[in-house]
Amino acid sequence: MPLFRKRRFGARHSHGATPRLMPLQRRSRFDAWLNRCVDIAVTLALLVGGVALVVHLLL
């Protein structure tokens, strides 16, 4: 006897962290631009932090 029941295809109730089907939403230009700015800011912060760590460890 299995400990967990198998989910049937099309089950409506989900338990746990499962991906949910989201309705298609049209993304605005501002939203895409803001996402790009956040991506760049996070990448730069990681690079600066990495360089600072390396410099600190080497000196």
Query: Which residue range is the domain that position 54 belongs to?
Result: 29-59
Is 54 within a domain? yes
CA angle 19, 21, 27 (to 5 degrees): 110
**pLDDT for the residue 12:** 58
* pLDDT tens profile 3-55: 666 655 555 555 667 776 666 667 688 899 999 999 999 999 999 999 999 99
Q: Note whether residue 3 is domain-resident.
A: no
Predicted pLDDT of residue 30: 84
The answer to whether 14 and 20 are in contact (CB under 8 A) is yes
pTM of the predicted model, to two decimals? Answer: 0.53
Residue 35 lies in a domain: yes
Q: Is residue 22 part of a domain?
A: no
Provide CB contacts within 8 A for 50, sequence distance 6+: none
Q: How many domains does the chain have?
A: 1
In a domain, 47, yes or no: yes
Q: Are 40 and 47 in contact (CB under 8 A)?
A: no
